Structure 1
């Protein structure tokens, strides 16, 4: 199948936004895994004085994870889907969170600029047309020494992990999504993971984009070998 991209993908997320939270809530560990990935950034304290960019915030699950781990940080949450962003912004938030409608490729045009102390991107990079360009943008808006955390479906490369992913998608996720009228988006979800970088390849992509201290960390449960946290830094000298 042809993957959804750009306006077509945003429109699919717009349509799915009404039921998205219910579907992800059925995924064991979904929210706790996001919090674990935020903690892996290793940011100090409660986030006092820190600026964090939540890139591809969706309906706000990643934003909530950031606020749970770093309640004092100032968070800018960005998404290309107006429907998803509207759901996120409608939730109750303490002061210090703002939402911006913008594609990851056009942050500057939307007034999103650095320096940020950290960028967190959950389930984003396999959904953009040019992940290398987005990584370059992320690097420019991080302060020297700033940290990038990526929480992504990125398979280990073992055939068993591909088989588990396909079984879960074809047997559970896609039938439920089809009943809700969102079959095309979740077929994209299944295929986009199979077509995306393995965990090792994505770590190499981060290094090629100029990030230092790249680490690849597994997540527990049924997603072991399927979902990973990637943590990297922009060099202190800004290289």
Structure 2
């Protein structure tokens, strides 16, 4: 079975949006891990005067992490799935948080323009048909010296990491997907991680896209070796996108 891509994947997320929050709540530390990645952006003063893009915001879990860690930042959440975005918008948010319906590949067409001081992308890049093009677009949206944090399932490269991921998928993720009628989406989750870059390979992809000071930071708990935060910075000599 091929991976879901583009419109097919968006449709699967639309169908699964109503059950998504309940399922991810079963993942120990899910929200705490997102807050950890948000903190790894290292924006000062609670984000005061800063503009942050939450790319692939889904139902708003990553947006909530940013809002908690950066209580003074302007946050723009973007997602391609209308169903997921509907769930996000239905939650209570401060006025400094807004949402835009757009694929990651079409931000400018949807009116999402830089410069942003930081971008968080959680569980996004392994789902993209053209991750390199989106990374370059994100780089161009960042202000000079702006920071990117990618929170992603990317296996560490050891055989043990793949065994842990396969065991979690066979024992938890696929049975839950079957029970809720979302088996295709959660099978995609399993296979997309196995097919995606290892952590060192994704770090190299970030460097090729023009990010500097790239670091690969592990996450604690059962996800060690399975999920990482990748952080990088746009060169301070670059120019951000026009507002």
Query: Normalised by the shorter chain, which TM-score bucket?
Result: over 0.9
Residues in 2 aligned to 1:86 and 1:129: alpha-carbon distance in whole angstroms: 24
Residues in 2 aligned to 1:73 and 1:34: alpha-carbon distance in whole angstroms: 17
Query: Helix, strand or coil: the match of 1:113?
Result: coil
Residue in 1 that maps onto 2:13: 13
Q: Deviations over 1:7-28 (max 9, x none)?
A: 0000000000000000000000
Q: How far 1:179 moved relative to its partner?
A: 1.1
Structure 1 gap ranges (5+)? none
Q: Does 1:124 align with 2:124?
A: yes
Q: How far 1:78 moved relative to its partner?
A: 0.2
Residue in 2 that maps onto 1:228: 228
RMSD (Å), alpha carbons = 0.7
Residues in 1 aligned to 2:136 and 2:37: alpha-carbon distance in whole angstroms: 21
TM, length-normalised to structure 2: 0.97
Residues in 2 aligned to 1:130 and 1:219: alpha-carbon distance in whole angstroms: 26
Q: Deviations over 1:52-106 (max 9, x none)?
A: 0000000000000000000110000000000000000110001101100000000
Structure 2 gap ranges (5+)? none
Residue in 1 that maps onto 2:39: 39
Q: How far 1:171 moved relative to its partner?
A: 1.1
Q: Does 1:206 align with 2:228?
A: no
Query: Helix, strand or coil: the match of 1:109?
Result: coil
How many residue pairs align between the two structures?
Answer: 239
Larger mean CA deviation between 222-231 and 174-183 belongs to 174-183
Residue in 1 that maps onto 2:79: 79
Residue in 1 that maps onto 2:144: 144
Q: How far 1:190 moved relative to its partner?
A: 0.1
TM, length-normalised to structure 1: 0.99
Residue in 1 that maps onto 2:163: 163
Off by >3 Å, runs of 4+ in structure 1 = none
Query: Helix, strand or coil: the match of 1:192?
Result: helix
Residue in 1 that maps onto 2:105: 105
